[in-house]
Amino acid sequence: MSSMVSLASKLAVASLLVHKAAGSSEFNWSHIEPSWDLEYTPCYDGLQCARLLLPLDWLNPRDELNATVAIAIAKLPAKVGADHDSFGGTVITNPGGPGDSGVVHMIKNGHFLQSMVDGNRHYEVLSFDPRGIFYSTPIANCYENEADGDLAEWQMRGFGLLDGSTQQLRRRRAHATARGQRCAEADKGQSSIREFMSTASVARDMLAIVDKIEASRSAALAKATRQGGHDDSAQRLELRSQSANKRAEARLQYFGTSYGTFLGNTFLSMFPGRVHRMVLDGLVVGEEYVDLDWSTNLADTAHVVDYFYQSCFEAGPYCPLWRAFDMSWSTIKSRVDKLVADLDANPLAIANTDGPETVITGDEIRIAMMDPLYAPLDLFEGLATLLHDALQGNYTLLLQRTGITGHRDTCSASRALAYTWMDQASMAVRCGDAKDVTDRDLAFWGAYAQKLGNLSADIGGLWVEVPFACSGWKTRPKYRYDGPFTSPEHDPAAIHSGRPSAPLLLLSSLYDPVTPLRSAAKVARGHPGSRVLLQKSVGHCAFLSAPSECTKRYVRDYMDTGRLPPEGTECEPDCSPWWPCPVERAHLPR
């Protein structure tokens, strides 16, 4: 859920993901010929990229059309060679969403993730764009051109966030139905990709990637042995023996965040005997996700919102919202709450000269708050500046944040390479994973919107957009897994025993806006021996909210030995908002 993207929340993302990511060199994926084997080419300043062909339909992998998907893969090589004694293999990672790009995740966070898992052993780190997403093909784009997509965004924005009113629900439900029909029609010309984007299919892709990695290593070892002649060294013979054992297992090592924890949980539940190590951070409860019950996600959201104001007050003049006369953090919050209420009661007319004329309501403030609650270290200061300006009557930053300014050239080459269908890809996954809710009436959705609004006045109206988008979704997946989300007790010496090699290591921040700590405890109950490590940071996932050398030590030890931290272990973050953070850290992969 690092970017559970509804159309409204997409407007909060000011920058688009294009083929040239920040701090990286350009790379053209079309220059890679898709292959049934892992064939890598250098990319993005030190990464290696491949396009792996896999069956479109895992239930019928040899269909008469030989339909395939081409999965975009990016990896950061280990710091040692695969023949080194300390080489630990591959750690596969998924950043969340669903819909976030694993390729962008590697570009932004590959080195930091490698620093978390590297200890006595050294790992290569790999991620991929799941089927339908960004660089993987075919893509799950509902629109033939970006102008149509832009018009759809503007129409949605005009409806406002769901507030539970009957008239608004009628229009929004009709729009959701129309969009579901539009995407279903688009699918007819896109290899029916949306029918095959469920997490079950992605988990099966991940299993294939694990097998391909092992096959590639075995082939490389065999080649090295042939080149060495008959006089094999003791080390090479030992590597051959190890490789034979690994081929028998071909087990996954995995680090998943947010929705990536649902993917990991699904993989573990479907293929428990194919798991070696698994770290899940920012837990999504599988049963709640497939039931489309998103209300439990907001259990700690109010704490994160309060933390924004509390930490601002403690930072004093380092926070743009702070005033010398403020007696407590609540006075800062009251000023912003009043601004939101005033904009709701009296929408502000903006005769925009840099883009279309528009109206600002309290919803624009709510949308602007979403991403900063995920990533306080990176985004709290920008949010405070935006709110400070708005309180002074300057809405320039707010307009920029919500994408209402500027002219977008939909015909340019850079637009053609932009990841503009992220919300559509996200819907295909989450609506396909969930039970069919198209028969639920307006009374249900009105009560649901009211419930989430009561749980969080700040983002509840935005959060309800995510399940509500499924109210008109027409495409049901061919391959779906809805539980049970359980696994047998681990067996460190397991070979084809149907048991994982180690228990789960679960991470959580103290207060997470959308995957609360209590969710980690719920997931743990389905997997014997698993344990929760609490990092006392605020934000989405321990990994994304703040760096912590303490957390790294426990993760490294787990990856090396399979040992879990002692029960009740807590780690302090190394950085906090408003102050410089001189150490490497993770960033939102969008």
Burial of 284 (0-12, 13-18, 19+ CB in 10 A): buried
Judge whether 487 and 269 are in contact, CB under 8 Å. Answer: yes
Q: How many CB atoms lie within 10 A of CB 164?
A: 18
Judge whether 354 and 405 are in contact, CB under 8 Å. Answer: yes
Q: What is the pLDDT of residue 430?
A: 96
Q: What is the pLDDT of residue 358?
A: 86
**Residues in contact with 346: Cβ distance below 8 Å, sequence separation at least 6, in sequence order:** none
DSSP codes, 285-307: PHHHHHTT--GGGGTTHHHHHHH
Residue 71, helix vs strand vs coil: strand
Number of H helices, E strands in the chain: 21, 12
> If you search the block for the tokens 């000011």, which residue do you land on?
14
Q: What is the pLDDT of residue 472?
A: 95
Q: DSSP character for 439?
A: T
Among candidate residues 177, 296, 452, the one with its CA nearest the CA of residue 169: 177
Cα angle 420, 422, 426 (rounded to 5 degrees) comes to: 160
**Residues in contact with 227: Cβ distance below 8 Å, sequence separation at least 6, in sequence order:** none
> If you search the block for the tokens 């209590």, which residue do you land on?
518
Residue 290 backbone dihedrals phi, psi, to 5 degrees: -75, -20
Q: DSSP character for 318?
A: G
Q: What is the pLDDT of residue 2?
A: 52
DSSP codes, 447-502: HHHHHHHHH-TTTHHHHTHHHHGGGG-----SS--------PPP-TT-SSSSS-SS
State pTM to two decimals. Answer: 0.92
Residue 140, helix vs strand vs coil: coil
* HEC secondary structure over 546-566: CCCHHHHHHHHHHHHHCCCCC
Q: How many CB atoms lie within 10 A of CB 421?
A: 24
> If you search the block for the tokens 């049901």, which residue do you land on?
476
Residue 365, helix vs strand vs coil: helix
Joined together, the tokens standing for residue 532 give 């929760």
Q: How many CB atoms lie within 10 A of CB 238?
A: 12
Judge whether 164 and 449 are in contact, CB under 8 Å. Answer: yes
Rounded Cα distance, 415 and 19, in Å: 10
Burial 200-220 (b: 16+ CB within 10 A, else e): bbbbbbbbbbbebbbebbbee
Residue 54, helix vs strand vs coil: strand
Integer Rg of the chain from CA: 24
- Evaluate the omega torsion of the peptide bond into residue 484 and state whether it is cis, within 30 degrees of 0: yes
Judge whether 35 and 51 are in contact, CB under 8 Å. Answer: yes
Rounded Cα distance, 158 and 469, in Å: 16
> If you search the block for the tokens 């080390």, which residue do you land on?
235
- Give Cα separations from 258 to 94, 178, 203, 244, 255 (angstroms): 9, 29, 15, 34, 10
Residue 427 backbone dihedrals phi, psi, to 5 degrees: -60, -40
Q: What is the pLDDT of residue 302?
A: 96
Beta-sheet strands, E only, within 130-192: none
Rounded Cα distance, 520 and 258, in Å: 11
Rounded Cα distance, 415 and 17, in Å: 10
**Amino acid symbol at 58:** W
**Residues in contact with 142: Cβ distance below 8 Å, sequence separation at least 6, in sequence order:** 149, 179, 182, 183, 186, 421, 424
- State how beta strands 122-129 and 68-76 pair: antiparallel
Among candidate residues 268, 263, 309, 295, the one with its CA nearest the CA of residue 282: 263
Judge whether 296 and 288 are in contact, CB under 8 Å. Answer: yes
Residue 66: CA count within 13 A, CB half-sphere: 2
Burial 311-336 (b: 16+ CB within 10 A, else e): bbbebeeebbbbeeebeebeebbebb
Rounded Cα distance, 369 and 113, in Å: 27
DSSP codes, 221-248: HHHHHHHTTT---HHHHHHHHHHHHHHH
Among candidate residues 530, 436, 514, the one with its CA nearest the CA of residue 475: 436
Among candidate residues 569, 505, 575, 580, the one with its CA nearest the CA of residue 538: 575
Joined together, the tokens standing for residue 420 give 């503009």
- Alpha-carbon dihedral of residues 517, 519, 521, 527, nearest 10 degrees? -140
Judge whether 112 and 146 are in contact, CB under 8 Å. Answer: no
Q: What is the pLDDT along the chain (590 residues), one digit of tens a residue?
A: 754 444 333 433 322 223 344 445 579 999 999 999 999 999 999 999 999 999 999 999 887 678 999 999 999 999 999 999 999 999 999 999 999 999 999 999 999 999 999 999 999 999 999 999 999 999 999 988 878 887 888 788 788 888 878 888 999 999 999 999 999 998 876 678 999 999 999 999 999 999 999 998 888 777 776 776 555 555 454 455 455 454 467 899 999 999 999 999 999 999 999 999 999 999 999 999 999 999 999 999 999 999 999 999 999 999 999 999 999 999 999 999 999 999 999 999 988 777 778 889 999 999 999 999 999 999 999 999 999 999 999 999 998 887 766 655 555 544 445 788 899 999 999 999 999 999 999 999 999 999 999 999 999 998 999 999 999 999 999 999 999 999 999 999 866 689 999 999 999 999 999 999 999 999 999 999 999 999 999 999 999 999 999 999 999 999 999 999 999 999 999 999 999 999 999 998 88
Q: What is the pLDDT of residue 21?
A: 47
